[in-house]
Amino acid sequence: MTSDVAARQVSPGISPREGKTVTGRAISALRKSRLATAGAILVGLFIIMAIVGPYVAPYNPSATSVYQLTSPSGLYLLGTTQSGQDVLSQLLSGAGSSLELGFLTAAFATVLSVVVGVPSGYFSGVAGESLSSLANVFLVVPALPLIIVIMAYLPNRGVLTMAVVISVTGWAWGARQLRAQTMSLRRRDDIVAARAIGEKTWRIMFVEMMPSLLPIIISGFLFTTVFAIVTEASLAFLGLTDVSSWSWGTMLYWAQNDQAFTLGAWWWYIPPGLCIALVGMGLGLINFGIDELINPRLKVQRNKQRGSAR
Amino acid sequence: MQRLRVLLRRTFFYLVTAWIALTLNFFLPRMMPGNAVESVLSRLEGSGPITPQAIHAMTLAFGLKTNQSLFQQYAGYISDIFHGNLGTSINYYPSSVGSVIAGSLPWTVVLVGLSTVIAFVIGTGLGTLAGWLKGSWLDGLVPFTTLLSGMPYFWFGLILISVFAVGLRVLPFNGGVGDGISPSFTMSFFASAAQHAVLPAATIVVSAIGGWLLGMRNMVVSVLASDYIVLAEAKGLPRRRIVAAYVARNAILPSVAGFALALGFVVAGSIVTEVVFGYPGIGDVLYIAVTSRDYPLMQGIFLIITLVVLLANLLADIVYVFLDPRTSEV
């Protein structure tokens, strides 16, 4: 199915005239991508872990015991911390807040990037240019130092606050991608026709163009989720979040604080970082599939020679 | 002429951005709930008695002169910045913020600069190869770069520490040079500094490589399928020459254009990496400033990091203009 789309069009990979079935086609194309499927399964497993984690955790993640710094055993599947807390229980309880923050931040940032990015590409002249400059300013100002400074001032460091702060600094890349795509869509026949018959501008931007913008919006959402989870971990590690609540980042904070690394307690510090990396990998693999959907040339076609994908 | 115009426009953009960052820096403490100095002081009280010096340093840093209007304060703040006056550090009192930053910035610029260049060269090199050999075993490894890009820099750094410094004891992991060696133009200093830089640099390179690799691979694949490459192939130009002279040069443009985003990640990653390694750069000082609630130092560092990043982006833009032949057209 995708190869005939590929044959007809390069970018955007999905034809606008297929109307409502576009999203459905995109999903079935993604399902054919083995990488995207693997990524979706990986992310799905972690979402399940985040939902059921607190209920299946064998111990209270904060409860201390006399079994201090023990390596993995039947009693403690992932060993214990310096103060005898169960690592597995912390991992299961922490998954929720890490993923929640990631998705919440990505949702905020995506809305911002659509609201700024699409009009910046659609309107020519001063309006478009100033919106585009706004995105460019946010793109070049380094995010983490700004986040650190803001977080250092804020008295409340809950998930919602963090999501707002991280999304405000992390939406610009998506906006720039959307601007480029909107600019190329603006002159397409069906969009010009819609404008000619007097369709409302907001409807053209957010309804007519949506099928062709959607892959880029989703790709930006997934990208921002990874950014947010890694940023939360960095902030937690620096002690800038509420370190009394469990997330993968605060686990690493306590591991560092209690010398897990010099004591060689690998079972304590490997799992939280690995979980973050695997979630990042899962989301990255889904993006791989989306990239192939947007630009079918990227697809590896094993039965053909290079160059024949055109 | 075209090149010059593009560069002037970009330079103007960065100047405006720098001014926005300056202004943001001025208003941030004022936008926070309550009076900045009072809320900061009340927070400081919790961690011990406040010295008059601290109050003095803070008032200076925030430019909070109660007898002045907001505009006068702002004008004074801008004038101070242009005179290189960033205020006095609380933690390193009586050192000025400027001198604390001056002592740590070179470490970061060398470490982050070198690691970024190394990661860029290896990443785009491997990316070109993977795109050229699309569908090969090398290309098959590309999806695993998402694992590298997804992991927190500092976590990878900690693993390097536990393997190479704690486990194998082959490399140092704390500080920028060995004990008792002070910065100077001597062999012993450079040897020790290089040795101490290996693990932090490896952390940044390995974590940053994935993004460059993937972007380059995808661009090479796209460019390989374009008409002028087919023509070059039809003319019988050697593959090696096609890839080096036509494909790579065109495919690298988005990587250079996307430098801003990549640099943001590297700067973020290296701040935490420096903390992990106790590396005496600006990231480590920022951490010290945050944990000791040294607000003047914190704000000065934010400002300097932003200005250095803007400068690096301008350099990337200059490189772009000379790489892209289209910008030299009339």
pLDDT higher at A198 or B36: A198
Does A111 score more than 90 pLDDT?
yes
pLDDT higher at A68 or A52: A52
Does A17 score more than 60 pLDDT?
no
Provide, as residue numbers in chain B, all residues whose Cβ is less than 8 Å from the Cβ of A288: 143, 146
Provide, as residue numbers in chain A, all residues whose Cβ is less than 8 Å from the Cβ of B233: 307
Does B330 score more than 60 pLDDT?
no
pLDDT higher at A74 or A105: A105
Tokens coding B196:
């101490």
Among the partner-chain residues B24, B144, B225, the one whose CB lies closest to the CB of A307 is B225
Per-chain mean pLDDT for chain B = 80
pLDDT higher at B215 or A302: B215
Residue with tokens 């001025």: B26
Amino acid at B118: I
Taking CA–CA distances from A252, the nearest residue in chain B reads B155
CB-based contact, B19 to chain A, within 8 Å? no
For range A53-73, the mean pLDDT: 73
3-state SS assignment for residue B96 = strand
Specify the pLDDT at position A7.
Answer: 37
A60-64, A118-122, B160-164: segment of lowest average pLDDT: A60-64
CA A26 to chain centre: 19
Does A12 score more than 70 pLDDT?
no
Provide, as residue numbers in chain B, all residues whose Cβ is less than 8 Å from the Cβ of A142: 263-264, 267-268, 305-306, 309
CA A44 to chain centre: 14
Phi, psi angle pair for A192, to nearest 5°: -60, -40
pLDDT higher at A71 or A1: A71
Please state, in angstroms and as integers, the Cα–Cα distance from residue B247 to each residue in B128, B228, B259, following that order. 9, 10, 19
Among the partner-chain residues A141, A142, A234, the one whose CB lies closest to the CB of B152 is A234
Confidence of residue A102 (pLDDT cuts 50, 70, 90): very high
Does A309 score more than 70 pLDDT?
no
Specify the pLDDT at position A26.
Answer: 67
For residue A244, the distance in angstroms to the closest alpha carbon of chain B comes to: 17
Q: What percent of chain B has a predicted confidence (pLDDT) above 70?
A: 82
Specify the pLDDT at position B48.
Answer: 60
Does A307 score more than 50 pLDDT?
no
Amino acid at B115: S
User: Are the Cβ atoms of B218 and A278 closer than 8 angstroms?
Assistant: no
Q: Which fold has domain B107-329?
A: MetI-like fold (1.10.3720)
Specify the pLDDT at position A265.
Answer: 77
Specify the pLDDT at position A104.
Answer: 93
CA B271 to chain centre: 8
Confidence of residue A304 (pLDDT cuts 50, 70, 90): very low
- The full set of domains in chain A, from first to last, is 15-68+82-309 (1.10.3720.10)
Q: How many residues appear in chain A?
A: 310
Report whether A85 contacts A78 (CB < 8 A): no
Please state, in angstroms and as integers, the Cα–Cα distance from residue B307 to each residue in A140, A271, B21, B302, following that order. 10, 37, 8, 9
Residue A297 is classified by DSSP as G
For residue A304, the distance in angstroms to the closest alpha carbon of chain B comes to: 10
Does A19 score more than 60 pLDDT?
no
Specify the pLDDT at position B237.
Answer: 85
For range B12-16, the mean pLDDT: 89
Specify the pLDDT at position A107.
Answer: 94
Confidence of residue A292 (pLDDT cuts 50, 70, 90): confident
User: Are the Cβ atoms of A142 and B139 closer than 8 angstroms?
Assistant: no
User: Are the Cβ atoms of A307 and B162 closer than 8 angstroms?
Assistant: no
Does B301 score more than 50 pLDDT?
yes
Specify the pLDDT at position B122.
Answer: 92
Most confident of A46-50, A89-93, B35-39: A46-50
Does B326 score more than 90 pLDDT?
no
Report whether B126 contacts B201 (CB < 8 A): no
With CA atoms as reference, report the closest residue to A248 among A281, A227, A277: A277
Does A10 score more than 70 pLDDT?
no
Specify the pLDDT at position B263.
Answer: 81
pLDDT higher at B40 or A291: A291
Among the partner-chain residues B148, B151, B305, the one whose CB lies closest to the CB of A142 is B305
Specify the pLDDT at position B261.
Answer: 73
Among the partner-chain residues A145, A234, A240, the one whose CB lies closest to the CB of B305 is A145
User: Are the Cβ atoms of B155 and A284 closer than 8 angstroms?
Assistant: no
Cα dihedral B44/B47/B51/B52 (nearest 10): 20
Among the partner-chain residues A143, A238, A297, the one whose CB lies closest to the CB of B287 is A238
Confidence of residue B62 (pLDDT cuts 50, 70, 90): low
User: Are the Cβ atoms of A238 and B267 closer than 8 angstroms?
Assistant: no
Q: At what angle do helices A143-153 and B2-31 cross, to 10 degrees?
A: 10
For range A186-214, the mean pLDDT: 83
Residues B73-108 pLDDT 10s: 788 888 888 887 777 777 777 778 888 888 888 888
Specify the pLDDT at position A44.
Answer: 92
Specify the pLDDT at position B39.
Answer: 59
User: Are the Cβ atoms of A273 and B310 closer than 8 angstroms?
Assistant: no
- The dihedral sign for the CA sequence B90, B91, B95, B101: negative
Q: What is the ipTM of this complex?
A: 0.82
Q: At what angle do helices B97-132 and B248-257 cross, to 10 degrees?
A: 150
Residues B118-165 pLDDT 10s: 998 999 888 888 888 877 887 878 888 888 888 888 888 888 888 887
For residue B117, the distance in angstroms to the closest alpha carbon of chain A comes to: 18
The count of other CB atoms within 10 Å of the CB of residue A260 is: 24
User: Are the Cβ atoms of B264 and A142 closer than 8 angstroms?
Assistant: yes
User: Are the Cβ atoms of B135 and A300 closer than 8 angstroms?
Assistant: yes
State how far the Cα of B92 lies from the Cα of B61, in Å rounded to an integer.
Answer: 14
Does A18 score more than 50 pLDDT?
no
For residue A279, the distance in angstroms to the closest alpha carbon of chain B comes to: 7
CB-based contact, B322 to chain A, within 8 Å? no
Residue with tokens 């050697």: B238
Specify the pLDDT at position A14.
Answer: 46
Identify from A98, A132, A153, A259 which residue to disrupt to test chain B contact, counting B C-beta atoms within 10 A and taking the largest count.
A153
Report whether B203 contacts B153 (CB < 8 A): yes
Phi, psi angle pair for B48, to nearest 5°: 135, 170
For residue A211, the distance in angstroms to the closest alpha carbon of chain B comes to: 23
Where in the sequence of chain B do the CATH 1.10.3720.10 domains occur? Answer: 107-329
Report whether B285 contacts B104 (CB < 8 A): yes
A vs B, Cβ pairs < 8 A, gives 182
Taking CA–CA distances from B283, the nearest residue in chain A reads A145
Most confident of A216-225, A297-306, B135-144, B255-264: A216-225
For range B302-315, the mean pLDDT: 87
Tokens coding B279:
């590396």
Convert B33-71 to b/e letters by CB count within 10 Å (16 or more is b): eeebbeebeeebeeeeeeeeebeebbebbbbbeeeeeee
